[in-house]
Amino acid sequence: MHREVIDKYYLLLHPRPAYIIGSGKWGEKINFMAASWVTPVAEEPPRVAIAIDIESYTHELIKEFKEFTVNILPLSKVNIVYKVGSISGRRKNKSDLVRARKGEKVDAPVIEDSLGHLECRVVDEHSSEDVTLFIGDILSAKVNTEYFSEKSGWNFKKINIPLHNWGRGFYSVGRFILVR
Ligand X SMILES: Cc1cc2nc3c(=O)[nH]c(=O)nc-3n(C[C@H](O)[C@H](O)[C@H](O)COP(=O)(O)O)c2cc1C
Residues that bind ligand X (CB under 6 A): 18, 31, 33-37, 51-53, 56-58, 81-82, 85-90, 164
Minimal distance, residue 22 CB to ligand X, in Å: 11
**Cβ atoms within 10 Å, residue 149:** 10
Q: Which is nearer to ligand X, 13 or 178 (CB)?
A: 13
| Cα–Cα dist 99/164, whole Å | 22
Minimal distance, residue 151 CB to ligand X, in Å: 29
Q: Which is nearer to ligand X, 89 or 103 (CB)?
A: 89
Minimal distance, residue 150 CB to ligand X, in Å: 26
Q: Which is nearer to ligand X, 140 or 165 (CB)?
A: 165
Measured from each CB, the residue nearest to ligand X is 85
Q: Where are the alpha helices (DSSP H) in 36-127?
A: 57-65, 78-84
Minimal distance, residue 169 CB to ligand X, in Å: 9
Is the CB of residue 23 less than 8 Å from the CB of residue 31? yes
Minimal distance, residue 63 CB to ligand X, in Å: 12
Q: Which is nearer to ligand X, 128 or 155 (CB)?
A: 128
Q: Would you give the DSSP letter of residue 70?
A: E
Please enumerate in sequence order all residues whose Cβ is within 8 A of that of 95, keeping only pairs 6 or more positions apart, or say none.
30, 31, 32, 109
Q: What is the dihedral of CA 166, 31, 109, 44, to 10 degrees?
A: 50
| Cα–Cα dist 34/83, whole Å | 8
Minimal distance, residue 90 CB to ligand X, in Å: 6
Q: Which class for 122: exposed (0-12), middle (13-18), buried (19 or more C-beta within 10 A)?
A: middle
Q: Which is nearer to ligand X, 55 or 155 (CB)?
A: 55
Q: Which is nearer to ligand X, 34 or 120 (CB)?
A: 34
